[in-house]
Homo-oligomer: A and B are copies of this chain.
Amino acid sequence: METLRESLSEKSSSVEAQGNVVRALKASRAAKPEIDAAIELLNKLKLEKSAVEKQLQASIGNGLHNREAFRQNVVNTLERRLFYIPSFKIYGGVAGLFDYGPPGCAVKSNVLSFWRQHFILEENMLEVDCPCVTPEIVLKASGHVDKFTDLMVKDEKTGTCYRADHLLKDYCNEKLEKDLTISGEKAAELKDVLAVMEDFSTEQLGAKIKEYGITAPDTKNPLSDPYPFNLMFQTSIGPSGSSPGYMRPETAQGIFVNFKDLYYYNGRKLPFAAAQIGQAFRNEISPRQGLLRVREFTLAEIEHFVDPENKSHLKFSEVAKLEFLMFPREEQMSGQSAKKFCLGEAVAKGTVNNETLGYFIGRVYLFLVRLGIDKERLRFRQHLANEMAHYAADCWDAEIESSYGWIECVGIADRSAFDLCAHSEKSGVPLVAEEKLAEPKEVEKLVITPVKKELGLAFKGNQKNVVESLEAMNEDEAMQMKATLESKGEVEFYVCTLEKNVSIKKNMVSISQKKKKEHQRVFTPSVIEPSFGIGRIIYCFKTGDEQLNVFRFPPLVAPIKCTVFPLVQNQQFEEAAKVISKELASVGISHKIDITGTSIGKRYARTDELGVPLAITVDSDTSVTIRERDSKDQVRVSLEEAASVVSSVAEGKMTWQDVWASFPHHSSAAVDE
């Protein structure tokens, strides 16, 4: 096994190196044959790497079947207890749409409250709340209209749609798992396909589907060629039908388009962060993986705007000493696994690109741990070079291990100036920040002065259009025009707004470069973006005891903080229970009152399943017992104190250990069977 690991590490390095070669060739616009050859070599290396990877995986074994059973068990409990309900169930449901039932809603609301507290309040962020309906131009600028697609194939007879890569993946996996007749060579080929298919072009994917004779899974009908399907829900704004719009696929764009107002609101100071919680929509082709890949979900996103020349963070020292599982690019490429790093060192060594990115990684870690995510099931994985968008400086995902494997729950990316530049360009509104320079700086500035009198004589009513076009030239265009005018005295010039060329003569415009003193630096800020999939985080709470169906929500996120029940059916006890219930409600503590006559043991089991951390049992008219779910320990407190003890624990002001140390213990092994 160690040999395999070493071999994988070697192969991975070669892939990374060759990947860099390809990118360098593309960047330098090398000749096509040269690039193609380099890509061919890259694919070969990838095949080799993936072959080793698969061998290694097989030799480890992975217990997939246990996972599947556990997952099904969890989903059943979640649905039975109304954590989730398939949406519109009485009408047969809609794939990829789920409701949160009462306990799910309570958990979600607790998570969002804590998110607001931990990020918006404690970091003084500017919260905004923008509509889901978004006009096309915004998503054109962001690139979503053109690029937010998956490849799809259609059953040529019924029209049923499938994700092309899913079909190919399923075909390969099934062959490998169930068809014992295939040759070793064929098996190797299928494994190779699985390894490299992520990088397939539309044509390559289509060719493979044809080659393997893959048909529609439900009907065995032939399939169409793959083609891109845009994942946004489209709609139309207003009644005319002429303003296309989409349901936003993320909340971030609403922040970017408001940058200017927010920057002014913040007193024109950087850095600052804006945040938004809201619904996002993705019209998945055929949603699978139940609650993880859905068509509508809640995102919580932060856009932290920072000077690209200074990405230090004032509060970095507060997180620098944290140690937790990280999985840098290098460790992934060399086949190692995630290991514990000290965050401060990871930033100092350059493993994490900059302090601000590191600060947010630390804050996300603290957030997830405070929510009760197990530190051993949480890791921060760095994107490989080929996973990132070309403009991104660095990107880390907080992944939580669940029955589906490691799930990306939070992405933390340094997106550089990409988004603000894209919207500046499309809208014509500069989304920039200024910095007063300590000393004025001398710069060369382009000066274009159209001679209006001459232009008026030549172009009459069109003068204004020509003037505007001349003034809008960038430095390159203007210097080229200046050169042509000096050599030829005349130049053909395209005026957009007239949609034609006009002839510009030397006397119509003066172009020069003047030295100027600048007192401020104007620049487009970089954006560091932590983006939280709230539903995925909630799904990952379902840890607990794999056998017992018990949800181990920590008090902070538990949907119901406390159950209140009289030990036996008895008017006095019931009255006392109602008084406590009212006190709990008045301090905002969600709870359940259970006055059925069921045995106390059964009632404890019932609340354990819901993940209720505390239970108050009224067994006298002056005092009650409080029981903690995980330890099953009980203390005795007075009737008057009950609500305040529970609320202190629920809000994190007191731990159960504090309670255990302050109140007399109570033992009742007999009833808690």
Contacts and interface: CB of A to CB of B under 8 A. Distances in A.
Interface of A: 82, 85, 87-91, 94-95, 97-102, 104-106, 108-109, 113, 116-117, 121-122, 124, 126-135, 137-138, 152, 159-161, 229, 233-240, 242-243, 245, 247, 254, 257-258, 260-262, 265, 279, 281, 283, 285-286, 295-296, 423, 426-427, 429, 431, 585-586, 588-590
Q: Which 9 A-B pairs have the closest CB atoms?
A: A105-B127, A100-B129, A90-B427, A90-B429, A161-B239, A131-B296, A102-B126, A99-B130, A233-B235
Contact of A132 (B285, B286, B296, B427): B296
A137 B91 contact: yes
A127 B87 CA distance: 15
Majority secondary structure, A binding face: mixed
Nearest to A114: B588
A101 B245 CA distance: 22
A91 B295 contact: no
Given A237-B295, A247-B235, A128 B100 contact: yes
Contact of A229 (B229, B239, B279, B585): B239
B236 A234 contact: yes
B240 A91 contact: no
Contacts of A102: 126-128, 262, 265
Given A88-B134, A102-B127, A161-B239, 9 more contacts: A91-B137, A98-B131, A101-B258, A104-B129, A108-B129, A122-B585, A133-B295, A161-B240, A233-B235
A102 B590 CA distance: 28
Contacts of A260: 90
Contacts of A85: 128, 258, 261
Please indicate which of the listed interface residues A87, A159, A239 has the most CB atoms of chain B within 10 Å of its own CB. Answer: A239
Contacts of A281: 132-133
B283 A239 contact: yes
Given A238-B95, A238-B283, A247-B235, A131 B90 contact: no
Number of identical monomers bound together in the oligomeric complex: 2
A134 B130 CA distance: 21
Given A161-B239, A283-B238, A261 B101 contact: yes
Contacts of A132: 132, 247, 279, 281, 296
A588 B122 CA distance: 8
A134 to B, nearest CB: 7
A296 B278 CA distance: 13
A261 B83 CA distance: 11
Contact of A99 (B131, B133, B152, B296): B131
A131 B93 CA distance: 12
Contacts of A117: 588
A99 B238 contact: no
Contacts of A238: 95, 161, 283, 285-286
Most chain B CB inside 10 Å of its own CB: which residue of A97, A130, A133, A245: A133
A132 B133 CA distance: 11
Nearest to A230: B239
A101 B137 CA distance: 22
A95 B243 CA distance: 12
Contacts of A98: 131
B233 A99 contact: no
A288 B588 CA distance: 39
A258 to B, nearest CB: 6
Nearest to A596: B267
A621 to B, nearest CB: 23
B105 A135 contact: no
Contacts of A242: 159
A333 to B, nearest CB: 36
Contacts of A427: 90-91
B128 A258 contact: no
Contacts of A137: 88, 91
Nearest to A100: B129
Contacts of A91: 135, 137-138, 257, 426-427
A137 to B, nearest CB: 5
Contacts of A160: 240
B99 A237 contact: no
Contact of A89 (B121, B129, B239, B257): B257
13 contacts: A89-B261, A90-B260, A91-B257, A91-B426, A99-B128, A101-B258, A124-B585, A132-B247, A133-B247, A133-B295, A235-B235, A236-B283, A238-B285
B159 A240 contact: yes
A237 B92 CA distance: 14
B258 A89 contact: yes
A126 B100 CA distance: 11
B283 A237 contact: yes
A625 B427 CA distance: 47
Contacts of A296: 131-133
A285 B238 CA distance: 6
A135 B89 CA distance: 11
B138 A88 contact: yes
Contacts of A116: 109
Contacts of A87: 130-131, 254
B108 A585 contact: no
Contacts of A99: 128-131, 254, 258
A580 to B, nearest CB: 14
